[in-house]
């Protein structure tokens, strides 16, 4: 709501105050002093936070044990490929049918250039990165109730909204309505800027012209030889544009989190997770379902069962514990911590999110519509369609993100459906933007994060009041236990938050460990 009313800058500022968005505070690799001889730590959860914590503590000399619920590492840093299988809470099982080389990231899918910790770990582990195309001016913006339901090109709406608002502001300046805000000299500078920025003519009007079409595109493109002469395109009228609400869909690329350049690891988001897993494999125990976390003045004991074959309780003990299990699960466990931390764990809700990955027989969005990467936005429940930012013009099947519904009623509605029903809906809604869907569809997969057993939610959702009351208590070292993960950060839902949380947690735990 803030974004629609006041724009991306105001929205980003508000999100930062609520802990949804913030600049990374990473200043380089941490350097821990040597651990005490024989010191040990058990790390719970082998997502990015857990593996980063384990890696840095091992480097300091700790004996490390890493317990993971799944048969793989990475947590929500997850990539699905052909042949992969996974189950939801009710036992519904999906098998991914993608062609070889195709993949889908159901969790994180992009990394801003200013997420410095993530960028550093990518560099340290030699992970190849590709540019992630957030804004594609040739993609679509769509309101099912405007323009007869016909999607509009992003570039048309952006250029026309900028042009019309520039014309209005120029009129106000010429009529002296801004005299109290700007000097006469500044007014002339402002008008010059508006003519350039809004592509206004000499009369400060935004009307069809070759110059305007240099921004929004031509009806007939300039050619060569005796080809038809170029025909300028006609801007959308101001009233129709404002009533369409499409202006609300063109601003995300201006937000700090989504500004160029964003990145994606080549071949799938799990590239860093796999590199960390290879480094830590000898310390890892998979298929381990933690049931109880107990501590005394001298040690921590973690009780667990085999996740695949529940049976007798087993346990492992260590001097210290870094727990990266999501609070959505931790709140259901027997964990021996103080009342303040316990209350914080139990008070943190988790946001809902669903994603649907769709494989098509060919890249029709490139072949037919010249959309190479980027995102189309819609008011339909799928919210967006994101096109792959890799393997452009490659022959054969390809996968796009056919729905990404995040923290709203649509995401809960999708989550209540079976995986096949989610895919069917994504096809039905997406087909209103791309009619090729029905003919070109091959197969799909859907992930509803509230229905995933090992997280039961997408990310921790902090309100201003919740953060004020519980955040510091959640982040404290409680005797011999410290928590880490995106939920213990000011950048929830981002991998950067997980990594920064882990680094901060191990520094504080280590400082305590060397002084006891």
Q: Domain check: are 264 and 358 in the same one?
A: yes
Q: Domain check: are 423 and 469 in the same one?
A: no
Backbone torsions φ then ψ of 131, nearest 5 degrees: -70, 130
Q: Domain check: are 27 and 165 in the same one?
A: no
Q: Domain check: are 430 and 377 in the same one?
A: yes
Q: Among 451, 478, 494, which residue terminates a domain?
A: 451
Instruction: Judge contact between 422 and 414, C-beta under 8 A.
Output: yes
Cβ neighbours, 10 Å, residue 80: 24
| Residue listed under structure tokens 């002093």 | 33
Per DSSP, 432 falls in state T
Q: Domain check: are 71 and 215 in the same one?
A: no
Q: Domain check: are 376 and 447 in the same one?
A: yes
DSSP 217-241: -EEE---STTPPPPEEPPPPPHHHH
Q: Domain check: are 434 and 400 in the same one?
A: yes
- Written as six digits, the tokens of 276 are 């960390």
* Residues spanned by the domain of 365: 80-138+260-269+351-451
Position 448 scores a pLDDT of: 98
CATH number, domain of 116, equals 3.90.660.10
CATH number, domain of 501, equals 3.50.50.60
Q: Among 400, 422, 451, which residue terminates a domain?
A: 451
Position 340 in a domain: yes
* Number of helical H runs and strand E runs in the chain: 18, 27
Total domain count, the chain: 3
* Radius of gyration (C-alpha) of the chain in whole angstroms: 26
Position 297 in a domain: yes
Element at 398 (helix H, strand E): strand 398-406
Q: Domain check: are 223 and 176 in the same one?
A: yes
Q: Domain check: are 65 and 84 in the same one?
A: no
Q: Domain check: are 209 and 332 in the same one?
A: no
Position 22 scores a pLDDT of: 53
- Average pLDDT for 493-503: 97
Position 370 in a domain: yes
Position 209 in a domain: yes
Position 12 in a domain: no
Q: Domain check: are 399 and 435 in the same one?
A: yes
Q: Domain check: are 468 and 502 in the same one?
A: yes
- Average pLDDT for 462-470: 97
Position 456 in a domain: no
Residue 94 has pLDDT above 50, yes or no: yes
pLDDT, tens digit, for every residue of 114-132?
999 999 999 999 999 999 9
Residue 18 has pLDDT above 60, yes or no: no
Give the separation between CA 212 and CA 89, rounded to whole angstroms.
Answer: 54
Residue 9 has pLDDT above 60, yes or no: no
């Amino acid at each position: 709501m803030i974004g629609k009313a006041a724009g991306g800058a105001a929205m980003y500022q508000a999100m930062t105050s609520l802990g949804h968005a913030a600049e990374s505070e990473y200043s380089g690799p941490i350097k821990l002093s040597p651990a005490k001889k024989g010191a040990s730590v058990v790390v719970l959860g082998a997502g990015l936070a857990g593996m980063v914590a384990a890696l840095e503590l091992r480097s300091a000399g700790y004996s490390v044990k890493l317990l993971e619920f799944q048969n793989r590492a990475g947590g929500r840093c997850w990539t699905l490929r052909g042949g992969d299988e996974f189950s939801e809470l009710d036992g519904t099982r999906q098998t991914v049918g993608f062609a070889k080389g195709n993949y889908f990231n159901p969790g994180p899918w992009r990394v801003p250039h200013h997420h410095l910790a993530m960028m550093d770990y990518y560099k340290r582990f030699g992970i190849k990165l590709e540019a992630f195309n957030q804004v594609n001016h040739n993609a679509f913006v769509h309101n099912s109730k405007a323009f007869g339901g016909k999607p509009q090109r992003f570039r048309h709406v952006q250029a026309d909204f900028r042009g019309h608002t520039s014309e209005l502001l120029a009129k106000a300046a010429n009529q002296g309505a801004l005299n109290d805000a700007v000097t006469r000299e500044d007014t002339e500078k402002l008008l010059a800027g508006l003519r350039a920025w809004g592509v206004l003519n000499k009369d400060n009007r935004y009307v069809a012209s070759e110059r305007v079409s240099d921004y929004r595109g031509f009806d007939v493109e300039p050619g060569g030889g005796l080809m038809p002469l170029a025909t300028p395109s006609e801007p959308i009228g101001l009233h129709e544009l404002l009533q369409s609400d499409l202006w609300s869909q063109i601003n995300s690329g201006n937000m700090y989190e989504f500004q160029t350049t964003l990145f994606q690891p080549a071949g799938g988001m799990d590239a860093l997770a796999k590199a960390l897993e290879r480094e830590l494999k000898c310390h890892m125990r998979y298929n381990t379902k933690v049931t109880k976390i107990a501590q005394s003045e001298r040690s921590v004991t973690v009780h667990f069962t085999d996740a695949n074959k529940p049976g007798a309780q087993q346990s492992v003990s260590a001097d210290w514990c870094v727990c990266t299990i999501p609070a959505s699960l931790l709140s259901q466990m027997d964990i021996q911590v103080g009342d303040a931390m316990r209350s914080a764990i139990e008070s943190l809700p988790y946001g809902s999110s669903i994603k649907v990955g769709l494989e098509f027989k060919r890249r029709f969005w490139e072949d037919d519509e010249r959309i190479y990467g980027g995102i189309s936005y819609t008011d339909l429940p799928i919210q967006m369609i994101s096109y792959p930012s890799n393997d452009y013009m490659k022959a054969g099947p390809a996968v796009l993100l056919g729905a990404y519904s995040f923290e709203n009623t649509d995401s809960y509605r999708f989550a209540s459906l079976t995986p096949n029903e989610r895919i069917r809906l994504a096809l039905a809604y997406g087909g209103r933007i791309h009619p090729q869907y029905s003919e070109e569809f091959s197969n799909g997969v859907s992930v509803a994060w509230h229905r995933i057993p090992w997280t039961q939610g997408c990310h921790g959702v902090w309100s201003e009041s919740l953060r004020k009351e519980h955040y510091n208590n959640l982040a404290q070292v409680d005797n011999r236990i410290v928590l880490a993960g995106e939920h213990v950060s000011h950048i929830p839902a981002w991998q950067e938050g997980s990594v920064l949380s882990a680094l901060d947690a191990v520094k504080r735990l280590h400082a305590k460990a060397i002084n006891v």
